[in-house]
Amino acid sequence: MEDFKNNRRQLHLYRRAAMDFFPPQNMALGGAIDKLFRDSDDFEPIRLSSFEEELQPNNDAMNKEDTESSKRLMKLRERKSLRDLNVRWIGLMTSGEAALRERIALFWHGHFACRTVVPSFAESYINTIRKHALGNFGEMLIAVSKEPAMLQFLNNQQNRKNCPNENFAREVMELFTIGRGNYSEQDVKEGARAFTGWAFNYKGEFQFKERTTITERSSSWAKRALGSDDGVDFQ
C-alpha cells in the first residue's frame, strides 16, 4: 500500500515538474526529487546559427524597386527563425533532459510576459529565463529587465531624463513583483527615474546610456518592488 502511495506521489510530481515524464522505477520520492534537480544543474543556451545570416541586410535587394519584396522576405525569415527557436525549445522540454529547468522556465516565460519579432532578442530572452529559472528571483528579475526584448516591449528605450517613460517601471511592480495596490504613483515615478538610461545597442546588447539617465534617485521604490535595494546596480 505504501509503495502504491509513493508511486502516485512520484507520478504527480513528474506530471507537474517534468513535462509528464515517468519517474524512475523503484526510487523513493526524495530520490526522485533530488534527481530532477541534479539533471537540471547544467545550463546549455540555445544557439541558432542562422540568426546572424538572416539578420544581415541584403544589399543587393535594397534598391527602390525591391524595397517591398525585401521587407516581405525579411519578415518571412524572421518568422522562420522564431518558429525554429520555438521548435528547439519544445524539443528540449520533451527530451527529458533537464526537465525541471525547462518546466520552470516555461512557467517564468508566462510570468514575464513579453513579445518581440526579432529572433535574436527572443533567443536571448528565453536563454536568460532558462538560465535563472531555478535560481534567485531578484537576480532573474534584474537580468530579464536588461533584456532587449523586454526593454523594447515596455518602451524603456524612450525612458529619458528629460521625459521619463513610466511604462516599464509600472509593469515591473504591477505584473512582475508586488502587484496592484501595493505601490504608489510616486513609486512608479521613482522607478521610471531609476530605469532611465537602460537601453540596448544595435547588436541587441544591454547598454547603459549615462547621458540619458537621471543621476539623483530615490531607492524607496526598489525596497518596495524588490524587498531591498542591496546589490541592485542600475548601471
CA distance 109 to 133: 9
The answer for residues whose C-beta is within 8 angstroms of residue 132's C-beta and 6 or more apart is: 108, 139, 140, 143, 144
Report the b/e string of 223-232 with b at 16+ CB within 10 A: ebbbeebeee
90, three cell numbers: 519544445
Please report where in the chains the cell 527602390 appears, as a residue: 64
Work out whether the CA dihedral 235, 130, 172, 151 comes out positive or negative: positive
Q: What is the pLDDT of residue 223?
A: 47
Model confidence pLDDT, tens digit, residues 45-80:
999 855 555 445 555 545 555 677 777 788 888 889
Burial category of 65 from C-beta neighbours within 10 Å (exposed 0-12, middle 13-18, buried 19 and up): exposed
Q: What is the pLDDT of residue 4?
A: 44
In this structure, are strands 206-208 and 198-200 parallel, antiparallel, or unpaired?
A: antiparallel
Radius of gyration of the chain (CA): 21
Q: What is the pLDDT of residue 234?
A: 46
Per the CB < 8 A criterion, the answer to whether 48 and 124 are in contact is: no
Q: How many helices (H) does the chain have, and how many strands (E)? A: 11, 2
DSSP, collapsed to helix, strand or coil, labels residue 55 as coil
Q: Which residues of the chain have pLDDT under 50?
A: 1, 4, 54-55, 61, 218, 223-231, 234-235
pTM equals 0.80
Query: CA dist 164 to 18, 128, 158, 190, Å?
Result: 43, 26, 8, 10
Q: What is the pLDDT of residue 26?
A: 75
CA distance 231 to 222: 11
Per the CB < 8 A criterion, the answer to whether 125 and 144 are in contact is: yes
Please report where in the chains the cell 523594447 appears, as a residue: 152
Q: What is the pLDDT of residue 54?
A: 47
